[in-house]
């Protein structure tokens, strides 16, 4: 590949970064609870994807490709860090604090993560993760099925059971609705 082609590839890839960096960062943040780790994961994924594919236009669905990559990277992260779901504001590491570009924004993010994770922890992980995909990452059930390699019916059912269970936990006296 000559220099100009490399240059064009990089410019093309920069547009991909701009388009997806916020979504991918949010995805990784809600699976790690750490802005610094989420940033590292997203950066690594972008670099690996660029080196593998160079021209994003050559991939039929770049969004799906990126999210599959980030989902795998986050799964690896979880394997290496068993207590990931216990992260909370008090446990912010020294590195985390130093890392912050905007301390107050990061604290608000951490607080929001803690609030949502407290609820999702009440669910089996596969239901919690489906809910993260649908509500936090704002993906359609078809997109979630594509990324997870599962059927749309399975995904919908996990989401429905998860939401139902949460509603009952939050409001136990009232039988909210029956699943069909």
Q: In angstroms, give the least distance from the CB of 163 to another protein.
A: 5
The reply to whether 175 sits near another protein by the rule CB under 8 A is no
What tokens appear for 48 in the block?
């690996």
What tokens appear for 74 in the block?
């986050």
Residues sharing a CB contact under 8 Å with residue 17, sequence separation 6 or more, in sequence order? 46
Do the Cβ atoms of 42 and 21 come closer than 8 Å? yes
Interface of this chain with another protein, residues 112 to 171, rule: CB under 8 A = 112, 116, 119-120, 131, 134-136, 140-142, 156, 159-160, 163, 166-167, 170
Out of 60, 83, 104, 149, point to the residue binding another protein (CB under 8 A).
104
Length of the chain: 180
The reply to whether 2 sits near another protein by the rule CB under 8 A is yes
In whole angstroms, give the CA distance from residue 158 to residue 135. Answer: 13
User: In which residue are the tokens 């509603």 written?
Assistant: 167
Q: In angstroms, give the least distance from the CB of 42 to another protein.
A: 6
Do the Cβ atoms of 105 and 147 come closer than 8 Å? no
Do the Cβ atoms of 162 and 130 come closer than 8 Å? yes
Q: One symbol per residue from 64 to 103: x for binding another protein (CB under 8 A), - otherwise; what is it?
A: ------------------------------------xxxx
In whole angstroms, give the CA distance from residue 120 to residue 97. Answer: 26
Dihedral over Cα of 139, 143, 148, 151: its sign: positive
Q: In angstroms, give the least distance from the CB of 113 to another protein.
A: 8
User: Whose Cβ is closer to another protein: residue 82's or residue 101's?
Assistant: 101
In whole angstroms, give the CA distance from residue 163 to residue 149. Answer: 21
Out of 76, 86, 111, 125, point to the residue binding another protein (CB under 8 A).
111
Q: Which spans of this chain sit near another protein (rule: CB under 8 A)?
A: 2-4, 6-7, 10-11, 13-15, 17-18, 21-22, 24-26, 29-30, 35, 39, 42-43, 46-47, 50-51, 100-105, 108-109, 111-112, 116, 119-120, 131, 134-136, 140-142, 156, 159-160, 163, 166-167, 170, 176-177, 180
């Amino acid at each position: 590949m000559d220099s100009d082609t490399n240059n064009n590839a990089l410019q093309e890839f920069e547009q991909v970064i701009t388009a997806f960096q916020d979504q991918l960062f949010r995805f990784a943040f809600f699976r790690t609870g750490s802005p610094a780790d989420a940033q590292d994961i997203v950066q690594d994924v972008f670099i690996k994807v660029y080196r593998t594919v160079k021209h994003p236009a050559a991939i039929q669905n770049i969004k799906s490709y990126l999210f599959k990559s980030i989902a795998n990277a986050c799964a690896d992260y979880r394997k290496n860090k068993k207590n990931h779901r216990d992260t909370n504001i008090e446990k912010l590491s020294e590195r985390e604090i130093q890392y912050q570009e905007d301390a107050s924004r990061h604290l608000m993010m951490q607080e929001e993560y803690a609030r949502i994770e407290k609820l999702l922890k009440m669910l089996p992980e596969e239901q919690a993760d489906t809910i993260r995909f649908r509500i936090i990452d704002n993906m359609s059930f078809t997109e979630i099925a594509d990324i997870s390699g599962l059927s749309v019916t399975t995904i919908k059912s996990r989401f429905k059971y998860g939401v139902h269970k949460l509603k009952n936990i939050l409001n136990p006296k009232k039988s909210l609705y029956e699943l069909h």
